[in-house]
Amino acid sequence: MEAMERAASVRYTDADGLADALHGADALFVYDFVSTAVPGAWHAADRLRWLHIASAGVDPVMFDGLRDSDVVLTNSRGVFDGPIAEYVLGVVLAFAKDFAGSLRLQDQHRWQHRETERVAGRPVLVVGTGPIGRATARLLRAAGLRVTGAGRRARDDDPDFGTVVPTDELTEHLPGYDFVVAVAPLTGATRHLFDARTLGAMRPGARFVNVGRGELVVTDDLIGVLRSGHLGGAALDVFETEPLPADSPLWTMQNVVLTPHMSGDIVGWRNALVEVFADNFARWVDGRPLRNVVDKRLGYVPSPVT
């Protein structure tokens, strides 16, 4: 932040002091990307022109006041693409090779030979065709999986997915895949996209991975589908309620892998987020176009191909 401190008057604040700090501010850097403090302090944004959030998802700051204003919204797209793709490949391999089962048997000092699965040739559907979805598709394809995307517009010539099916026809396509990966942004159209109907439409024994947003999934419906044995497992990095409540049944399900919203958090990620803001700040001061400008109606940064 040193370069920015030399070029501007920088105020640091927590959620409680945000309204006071916003008075007279031209730009706001929301470093605490899970904070929901911005809507409550918005009345104090008397000259704000630009808001940057230190995450790819912008749902914590998407509210009518910002959406209807002239304030430009940018995000930190690009920091997490590769790391999250690696996480997805990791859990796909973990399911196929039953690493969790091996660790349980190791804890019990039990020598139990088993057969495991190949991932090469297995069909996977990546729901969300933004940068994280594309990085995931490329890595999964490199590992030999057959990848299809699900996005707003159907097409057969996508450079990363090949075929993209329309998200509004998701239920019709889900039975064709062994793995389903949710990486879509949280919008009005994607909230609770995975409910009892869609999860129940998945192929019996299929595995579900959510690295997008917890609110993409109806948690109770997912628990029910897992308990029924319809799904072969789930890897969940995000949840409707975070931290995940200690009494959630998900904690004790042997076919569930849980991580605490860390799929993209590699060593150095916090500095990388500030570097994205610093680059945009330099552009803003110089009057150059900002990177990662969010379409506030869509709720994400539009890509040339979406």
The series of mean pLDDT values per 10 residues for the chain, 306 residues long, is 94 98 98 95 98 96 97 97 98 98 98 98 98 98 98 96 98 98 96 98 98 98 98 98 97 98 97 97 97 96 73
Cβ neighbours of 26 (radius 10 Å): 11
**Active-site pick, 117, 242, 270, 275:** 242
Contact assessment for residue 194 and residue 217, using Cβ atoms and an 8 Å cutoff? yes
Contact assessment for residue 278 and residue 1, using Cβ atoms and an 8 Å cutoff? yes
Phi, psi of 112 (to 5 degrees): -130, 105
Does 81-258 match 2-78+267-286 at the fold level?
yes
CB proximity list for 266: less than 8 A, separation 6 or greater: 83
Question: Would you call 275 a catalytic residue per the annotation?
Answer: no
Amino acid occupying residue 267: V
Peptide bond into 260 cis (omega under 30): no
**CA nearest neighbour of 145 among 85, 230, 104, 201:** 85
Question: Would you call 261 a catalytic residue per the annotation?
Answer: yes
Give the integer Cα–Cα distance in Å for 41 and 178.
Answer: 45
Q: What is the pLDDT of residue 305?
A: 56
Question: Would you call 242 a catalytic residue per the annotation?
Answer: yes
**Active-site pick, 49, 146, 261, 283:** 261
Homologous superfamily of the 81-258 domain (CATH) = NAD(P)-binding Rossmann-like Domain (3.40.50.720)
Residue extents of the structural domains in the chain: 2-78+267-286, 81-258
Q: What is the CATH number of domain 2-78+267-286?
A: 3.40.50.720
Phi, psi of 87 (to 5 degrees): -60, -45
Q: What is the pLDDT of residue 27?
A: 98
Q: What is the pLDDT of residue 105?
A: 98
